[in-house]
Structure 1
Amino acid sequence: MTSIITNNAATVALATLRSINNDLNTTNDRVSTGKKINGAADGAAYWNISTTLTSDNGALGAVKDAINLDLSSVKTSSTGLDQIRKSLQTMKEALVSAQSANADRASLQKNIAAAISDISSAASSAVVNDSNWLSTDSSAAGYNADKNLLANFSRSDGVVTVGTASLDTGDFTVYDAATNGTSTGTSTTIDKAVTLVATTASAGTGALTVSVGTSAGDLKGFMDTTYEISGTVGGATVTDSLSIADIDISALTSSEADLAKIATYMKIIDATISGLNNGATALGTTQTRLESQQSFAQSLIDINTSSIGSLVDADMEEESTKLKALQTQQQLAVQSLSIANSSTSNIMTLFR
């Protein structure tokens, strides 16, 4: 039966063409974007997972940037500290030479003064993003010697956690404006302690010790803080103080008292170098940890990127094959619809 009202063949052909066109549009979208999942409508589960992973990658990228900034501060401080340790070593070697009876102490003092100047330059130059860990002011508002350095990012059971690594910059602070001129001794000149100890040393009743800063391993601005010098004479303790920046051997002689002063200076430098070595160790350990976490963060980013790709990326070889097939099907569907539509016109011949 042929009807001029209802053309079932054309209806079927049109439905087939619509379906093919929809599939063709989907394939074209995948070919043009390179993705098979472009939105939640294309696959809600995969889209949700890929969106979360993409968000995590953004956070991991921010962690990497923050670690890189903290790492720059650590490396800069470490470089400055190495230079300062070399300058202190120069001072130590000058003091060793100064103990010789034939030493030119005025010339050696010039080396010491140059080393002190180099220490100041290295400390003031160790700046990253307006932050300086070697030259500080612990009395400033918001100051905290313990630096929390961003170390990692993790997600567990839907909870995001950011981890930090702590670094105590008090272990290697070179200048601290808050302690400038602070003395841990009880007198105003070095002569009192070292002279008494030197004059009684021959009798075996004198002993000299040096206390660095306020606690073991914490330098707290050693170029600004004066060191406590304790001398024991006949069972009694005499204390005095001295700052590294005040060391001056230019006018010293080869007398026993002056040689005792030079020995005291060496004790101070040795104690400071030892303290800085502890600080350098802390910086080195922190640098290794941050570099490891930075590398790990990049590995996580790479893994997430690969996972996202496996979920949403289109298989271009497959899509290319589909595209060719759908284009052929579209042409055939158009031809089929044309044939179906022409069938009704054939009825006119029956009425001629």
Structure 2
Amino acid sequence: MTSILTNRSALIALQTMRMVNQQLDATGNRVSTGQRISSAADGAAYWAIASTLKADNGSLGALEDAISLDRNSVDAAAVGLTKVIDQLRTISNALVSAASANTDRGKLQNDIEVAQVAIRNYSDNTVMNGSNWLSIDSSKPGFSFDMDLVSAFSRKNGSVSVSTTTLSIGSFFLYDANPANTSNADLAQGWANVVAAVNRDTSASLAIAVSLGGGDRGGFMDTAYYIGAGSDTMSVATLDMESLTSSDADQRKLLTYLKIVDATTQQLLTGASKLGSMSTLLKAQQEFTRQLMDINTSSIGSLVDADVEEESTRLKALQTQQQLGIQSLSIANASSQNVMSLFR
């Protein structure tokens, strides 16, 4: 039956054309954007998961930058401390040479003073990201010996958290602009280690017993030590052996100086090893963060990325269907024209 009011064949062909065009638009969008799901309308669940993963990747990228900054601070302190340790060895060598009665202690003292100046310069200029862990001012408001270094970001049960690793600079800092009797455990242990190392052998022929000096105490360079039972004190930063004579008492004092410098060097080597271990840990955390970002990126791709080969094939097929639909619509419309020919 052919009706001049309703062309059912044309309507069906038109509906088919609309459906094909809609699919063609969707497929073309997937091919051009490379995404199977580009909005919540394409798949709300997958889109929400992918959006969360993208946000996490942004946070992980910021975490990687923060770890890099913290690691730079750790590495800067390690380099400065290594330079200081080299200068302490120079001081030790000068003290060993001074033990001989045939040496010029004045010239050796010059070597010591040059090393002391170098140590101060290294300490004051080991600055990274605006902070200095070798020359400090413990009297500043909010100062802490514990440095919280960013190490991880995680999302668990819908809640995000940032983890930190604590590094105590009390085990290696050198100067304090406003020293005080600090209760930092690592610093107190370091002082105790130096005193114990010096006093390990205090026989009369070898050295003089030492103890921590009274009053304010600073870092490992400017903390004063009592020499013997009297009020004579010295610090590595103020060590001066030029006035010492070749008497037995002064020779023992010279050896005491040497022991203090050596014990301080050993303590700073321990501090340097802590910095090295922390740098290794932060490097590992950086690499782990990058791996997490790669995994997230892969997960996002599996959720929202389009299979371009499949979509391209579908696009070709839909273009063919579109052409066939146009021809079908043309044929359906032609039936009405055939009816008109009956009235001629």
- Whole-Å Cα distance in 1 between the matches of residues 150 and 320 of structure 2? 57
Question: 1:135-180: per-residue Cα shift (whole Å, max 9, x none)?
Answer: 1100011111101101111222222221110000111111110118
Q: Which runs of 5+ in 1 are unaligned?
A: 183-197, 232-236
Measure, in 1, the Cα distance between the counterparts of 2:90 and 2:320: 85
Alignment deviations for residues 13-62 of structure 1 (CA, whole Å, 9 cap, x no partner):
11111111111111111111111010111111111111111111111111
Where does residue 223 of structure 1 map in the other structure? Answer: 221
Say whether the 8 Å CA contact 2:225–2:235 is kept in structure 1.
yes
User: Which residue identity does 1:73 align to in structure 2?
Assistant: S
Match of 2:254 among 245, 253, 262: 262
Report the equivalent of 1:248. 240
TM-superposed deviation, 1:72: 0.3
Partner of 1:195: none
Q: In the alignment, which of 270, 273, 277 is matched to residue 281 of structure 1?
A: 273
Over 3 Å counting, the alpha-carbon distance change for 1:213 and 1:297 in structure 2 is farther
Aligned length: 324
Q: Distance in 2 between matches of 1:155 and 1:181?
A: 42
Paired residue for 1:190?
none
Aligned amino acid, residue 238 of structure 2: D
What do you get for the CA RMSD once the two structures are aligned? 2.3
Aligned AA (1:23): Q
Rounded Cα–Cα distance in structure 2 between residues aligned with 1:296 and 1:108: 51
Report the alpha carbon displacement of residue 349 of structure 1 after superposing the two structures with TM. Answer: 1.0
Whole-angstrom CA distance in 1 between matches of 2:107 and 2:254: 15
Q: Is the 8 A contact 1:116 1:245 kept in 2?
A: yes
Relative to the length of structure 1, the TM-score reads 0.87
- Deviation string 1:232-269 (CA, Å, 9 cap, x unpaired) is xxxxx445321222112234331223222311211220
- Offset of residue 291 of structure 1: 1.0
User: What SS does the aligned partner of 1:331 have?
Assistant: helix
Match of 1:189 in 2: none
CA contact (8 A) 2:37 2:43 kept: yes
Q: Which runs of 5+ in 2 are unaligned?
A: 183-201
Contact 1:212 1:271 in 2 (8 A): no
Partner of 2:330: 338
Structure 2 CA distance, aligned partners of 1:29 and 1:124? 60
AA partner of residue 132 (structure 2): N
Cα distance in 1 between the residues matched to 2:156 and 2:60: 15
Would you say the 8 A contact 2:208–2:253 is kept in 1?
no
Per the TM alignment, residue 289 of structure 1 is displaced from its structure 2 partner at its CA by: 1.1
Q: Which residue of 1 aligns with 2:161?
A: 161
Quote the residue 1:292 is aligned against.
284
Q: Residue 16 of structure 1 aligns with which residue?
A: 16
Return structure 1 stretches of 4+ with deviation > 6 angstroms.
Answer: none
State the partner residue of 1:321. Answer: 313
* Percent of aligned pairs sharing the same letter: 54
Q: State the TM-score, normalized to the length of structure 2.
A: 0.89
